[in-house]
């Protein structure tokens, strides 16, 4: 799986999980949803993505 697809899967999972937590636990979880959205926006503008660095540092994604 490419890095872009991994980032999209993780971001989508985070958004869905935070929406579920906001519904069943506390509306404060919507701040996490906003955080994910801001990171996606920042990544689109600057070309740098923290999750991409995290995936490389942990060894989950290896450049071929």
Map residue 47 onto helix, strand or coil. coil
Which pTM was predicted?
0.86
Please state, as a whole number, how many other Cβ atoms lie within 10 Å of the Cβ of residue 36: 19
Residue 52, token pair as written in the block: 């991409």
Express each pLDDT in 8-33 by its tens digit: 999 999 999 999 999 999 999 999 99
Express each pLDDT in 35-60 by its tens digit: 999 999 999 999 999 999 999 999 88
Give ∠ CA 25-31-34 in degrees, rounded to 5. 130
């Amino acid at each position: 799986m490419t890095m872009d697809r991994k980032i999209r899967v993780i971001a989508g999972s985070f958004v869905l999980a935070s929406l579920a937590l906001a519904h069943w636990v506390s509306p404060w979880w919507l701040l996490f949803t906003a955080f994910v959205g801001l990171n996606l926006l920042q990544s689109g503008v600057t070309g740098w993505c923290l999750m991409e660095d995290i995936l490389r540092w942990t060894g989950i994604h290896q450049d071929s």
